[in-house]
Structure formats: structure tokens, C-alpha cells
Amino acid sequence: MWAKRQARHVEDHNKFDEEQGGSRPGRTAIDIAQRKALTYLYTRITKNCLATIDNDAKSCYDRIIASLIASRALGMP
């Protein structure tokens, strides 16, 4: 229940990262993976340099104890 309330609040205030897609309305985890794959393909075709950082901690909002503290900054009581 708490995670759902937090997710709604964060979604309403547009605070989710763009890589967070699995539990958001109108987005799926497949969309995020496909966008990443297309980015890698485009970079390879255009022969540009690319560096990515996959930090799962920023997307696991309902599994991190720090989210309890950070939610105060986002307005959760």
C-alpha cells in the first residue's frame, strides 16, 4: 500500500527517472529495453562513442530503505 501511494505521488510530480518504466502507466519494461537497444544500434551505425551507466538503485523505488527518507523530500507524510 505504501509503495503504491509513493509511486502515485512521484508520478504526479514527474520525479521518476526516464529508465523507470515497468510499473508506470502507459510504459513497460520492454519499451525501456527496446529504447536502449536502439540507442546502442544507432551509436554503432554512426560510429559515435557512448557510455552508459545502469544504476538499478535509482529505479527500485519500493525496495530501498533510503526511499523512506527521500520520500519526505517529495512530500510524502
Nearest alpha-carbon partner for 20 in 51, 52, 55: 55
pLDDT of 3 strictly over 80: no
User: Which band of pLDDT confidence, cut at 50, 70 and 90, is reported for residue 64?
Assistant: low
Residue 24's alpha-carbon distances to 4, 27, 48, 50, 64, in angstroms, are 11, 6, 31, 27, 18
**pLDDT by residue (tens digit) across 6-41?**
777 777 877 776 767 766 777 777 888 898 899 999
- Is the whole-model pTM more than 0.85? no
- Structural contact between residues 39 and 50, judged by C-beta atoms closer than 8 angstroms: yes
Nearest alpha-carbon partner for 4 in 23, 30, 22, 18: 23
